[in-house]
Amino acid sequence: MFEGFATESVPTEEVRHGGSGPPVLLLHGHPRTHATWHRLAPLLAQDFTIVCPDLRGYGRSAKPPTTDDHEPYSKRAMARDALAVMRAPQAHDRGCYVAQRLALDNPAAITRLAVLDGVPIGEALARADARFAARWWHWFFLGQTAKPAEPLINADPDAWYRGTPEEMGAEAYEDYRNAIHDPATVHAMCEDYRAGLGVDRAADDADREEGRRITCPVLFLWAGRDDMEELYGDPLAIWRSWADDVRGERIDSGHHMAEEAPEDLAEHLRRFFKAG
């Protein structure tokens, strides 16, 4: 897994990196680790320097103490981590919220932003209806503090998170399984969702009110076999309300595109990142 890549620890994150050329940062989603990119990263490393960290709280990364407002696990805090690691992101799921925050807070640092299968947190919550709640109820379950989710998850992490070596790859699955069996990681991942319902949504709402937009080109790719279009109709229209230069396409895949359709995904990303 990640043949030719090196691994190192920085103050907040465990980072895998390899390849040569312009830098591309890959930010994973929940409940994965950086290992989710193991099929995609070597394809992109032919043209780019690829950096794959474990997000704050996930995998082997640092797990800072929580606070009442959950700010240590906010996407703004994670974006600060990402900026300390490198510049120019591509991101999936929860990672796309970190990349969006990085692009909004540090526009001079980002040249191109690619987002996979996610819309801004503020947009998702503003549109949340019964259909969203039925499909994505875990957002609200993981976000609870009065009746925390951690004891239920830790009782049987494999039953809660599932995943198989066949779909993820044996080594990536083992990395992921080690992470979900660590109660500190489970707590950190719940904190990610608690921040999402609070300080992260407030940050999105403040940006919208102030008219702040993403200034770099944005590529949005969504999974044709997921529910993005069912929930949002035209998801590109949502991203165009946040950025001036947005292009996108549907990928024939389920939600975890980097695991399910790495060649197709790599080709779309390679064209976008190489574009003038």
Q: Which residues are catalytic?
A: 93, 255
- Among candidate residues 44, 53, 61, 59, the one with its CA nearest the CA of residue 16: 53
Distances in Å between the Cα of 4 and the Cα atoms of 26, 36, 91 are 17, 17, 22
Q: Do the beta carbons of residue 186 and residue 153 sit within 8 Å?
A: yes
Number of residues in the chain: 276
- CA–CA dist 246, 239 (Å, integer): 7
Instruction: Name the token pair of 88.
Output: 């120019």
- Among candidate residues 130, 119, 115, 120, the one with its CA nearest the CA of residue 257: 115
Distances in Å between the Cα of 90 and the Cα atoms of 150, 256, 260, 270 are 29, 14, 17, 11
DSSP label at 52?
A: E
3-state class percentages of the chain: helix first, strand second, coil last, to nearest 5: 50, 15, 35
